[in-house]
């Protein structure tokens, strides 16, 4: 019997952050593709678009006017999914019917006044302003007594359902810790109680030793393809120091986060020479007023593209009904990203 190889044989990998498993089927990369082919998004955009609701000076759909902002700009989402002023309500009817009211807050942040830029095309000094804004918002929104979880995220590309190409992200604050960070909270707490160290501190140390899945390393942050990656080119940015939230980052660390964010997204854009779509988001400690030494700040990137600018990975069928599944291994994905030029393809 031949020997088991990650690159040849199907296997399951464990995600210690969530407790989930992912099925890896590396031999499947050989199968033909006759399914849907996505059209690449049109690339050329003006610096200012009079029809864009996020450009400086323009009117938004909600009727408010954006100021002539010069770097970052944050506003309350005109169509917030969560609002602060709702009556408290709990519903239960036996064991099977339960509901509860949820208070919260939604904001939109423009990363730049330039309609034509994206994070990988911005200067690190300008991305640093985005990081500073995240820190301020995390602290400010988190200080509200009805906000326990602050979710910072970015949806990029129309393939991801992003409504506008103007570089922007969102922040939602709410009373409950939502499902994904709640899973990570349980796993990180159990690990910390057992080892007296954060799960990601130990994980990053191991990854740095092997180097196999590392994409970017600077003094304070690492970008890597996690061993348990589900999306084809999934990545994670993790702080080297065990900090529970962005508000604990030093001045230097904030700049290092901006640097890692840029370098990773440049790799992404260079992969298929297209503005690479993804959903990204920061996971960090809840804002419940407690210390959370078990929490380790990190940012997830879930990009949907698989083999080209037009072939998307669908999480359907088996994935929806049973288990997340991927074809190329995390190591192969990391190697492909690492082999790319470090200069953005548009700047060549």
Catalytic residues: 168
Known binding residue 218? Answer is no
Long-range contacts of 283-286 (CB under 8 A, 24+ apart): 283/180, 283/181, 283/184, 284/138, 284/150, 284/244, 284/245, 284/246, 285/244, 285/245, 286/148, 286/149, 286/177, 286/181, 286/185
Regarding 51 and contact with ligand H2U (CB under 6 A), the answer is no
Choice between 66 and 270, CB closer to ligand H2U: 66
Q: How far is CA 122 from CA 156, 164, 258, 264, in A?
A: 15, 18, 10, 13
Contact set for ligand H2U, span 53-92 (CB under 6 A): 53, 60-62, 77-79
CA-atom Rg of the chain in angstroms: 21
Which of ligand H2U, Zn ion, none is residue 52 near (CB under 5 to 8 Å by kind)? Zn ion
Known binding residue 28? Answer is yes
Dihedral sign from CA coordinates of 205, 210, 212, 214: positive
Known binding residue 284? Answer is no
Regarding 333 and contact with Zn ion (CB under 5 A), the answer is no
β-bridge pairing 11-14 and 21-24: antiparallel
Contact set for ligand H2U, span 158-187 (CB under 6 A): 161-164, 168, 170
Closest residue by beta carbon to ligand H2U: 60
Tokens read off for 94: 């036996």
Which of Zn ion, ligand H2U, none is residue 79 near (CB under 5 to 8 Å by kind)? ligand H2U
Known binding residue 78? Answer is yes
Which of ligand H2U, Zn ion, none is residue 53 near (CB under 5 to 8 Å by kind)? ligand H2U
> Are 265 and 119 in contact, with CB atoms under 8 Å apart?
yes
One character per residue 52-71, x = contact with Zn ion (rule: CB under 5 A): x-xx----------------
Give the position of tokens 């994980």: 203
Contact set for ligand H2U, span 262-321 (CB under 6 A): none
Residue 270, number of CB atoms within 10 A of its CB: 21
Q: What is the DSSP letter of 312?
A: B
Choice between 149 and 166, CB closer to Zn ion: 166
Regarding 204 and contact with ligand H2U (CB under 6 A), the answer is no
DSSP letters, 239-305, are ESS--SSGGG--HHHHHHHHHHHHHHHHHHHHHHTS---EEEEEE----SSS--TT---EEEEE--B
Q: Which residues lie below 8 Å from residue 269, measured CB to CB, with a gap of 6+?
A: 118, 120, 275, 276, 344, 345, 346
Number of residues lying near Zn ion (CB under 5 A): 6
In this chain, which of 24, 108, 236, 330 binds ligand H2U, going by CB under 6 A?
A: 108
Which of ligand H2U, Zn ion, none is residue 166 near (CB under 5 to 8 Å by kind)? Zn ion
Q: What is the DSSP letter of 63?
A: S
Contacts with ligand H2U by CB under 6 A lie at 53, 60-62, 77-79, 108, 155, 161-164, 168, 170
Return binding residues for Zn(2+): 52, 55, 115, 166
Return binding residues: 28-31, 52, 55, 61, 77-78, 115, 155, 161-163, 166, 170, 184, 283, 298, 300, 313-314, 318-319, 325
Contacts with Zn ion by CB under 5 A lie at 49, 52, 54-55, 115, 166
């Amino acid at each position: 019997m031949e020997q088991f190889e990650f690159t040849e044989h199907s296997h399951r990998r464990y995600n210690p952050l969530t407790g989930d498993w992912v099925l890896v089927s590396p031999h499947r990369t050989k199968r033909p593709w006759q399914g849907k082919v996505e059209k690449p998004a049109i690339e050329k955009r003006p610096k200012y678009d009079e029809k864009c609701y996020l450009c400086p000076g323009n009117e938004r759909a909600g009727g408010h006017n954006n100021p002539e902002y010069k770097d970052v700009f944050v506003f309350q989402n005109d169509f917030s999914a969560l609002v602060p002023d709702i009556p408290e309500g709990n519903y239960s009817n036996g064991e099977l019917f339960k509901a509860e009211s949820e208070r919260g807050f939604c904001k939109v942040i423009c990363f730049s006044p330039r309609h034509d830029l994206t994070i990988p095309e911005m200067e690190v000094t300008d991305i640093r302003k985005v990081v500073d804004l995240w820190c301020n918002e995390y602290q400010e929104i988190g200080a509200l007594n009805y906000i326990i979880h602050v979710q910072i995220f970015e949806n990029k590309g129309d393939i991801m359902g992003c409504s506008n190409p103007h570089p922007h992200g969102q922040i939602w604050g709410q009373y409950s810790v939502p499902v994904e960070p709640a899973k990570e909270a349980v796993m990180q707490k159990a690990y910390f109680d057992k080892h007296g160290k954060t799960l990601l501190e130990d994980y990053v140390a191991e990854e740095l030793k092997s180097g196999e899945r590392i994409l970017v390393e600077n003094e304070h942050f690492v970008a890597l393809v996690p061993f348990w990656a589900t999306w084809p080119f999934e990545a994670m940015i993790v702080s080297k120091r065990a900090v529970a939230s962005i508000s604990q980052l030093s001045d230097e660390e904030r700049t290092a986060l901006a640097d890692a964010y840029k370098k990773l997204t440049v790799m992404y854009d260079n992969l298929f020479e297209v503005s690479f779509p993804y959903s990204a988001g920061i996971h960090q400690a809840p804002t419940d007023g407690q210390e959370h030494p078990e929490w380790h700040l990190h940012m997830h990137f879930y990009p949907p593209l698989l083999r080209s600018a037009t072939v998307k990975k669908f999480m359907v069928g088996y994935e929806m009904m049973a288990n997340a599944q991927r074809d190329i291994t995390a190591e192969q994905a990391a190697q492909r990203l690492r082999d790319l030029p470090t200069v953005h393809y548009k700047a060549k």
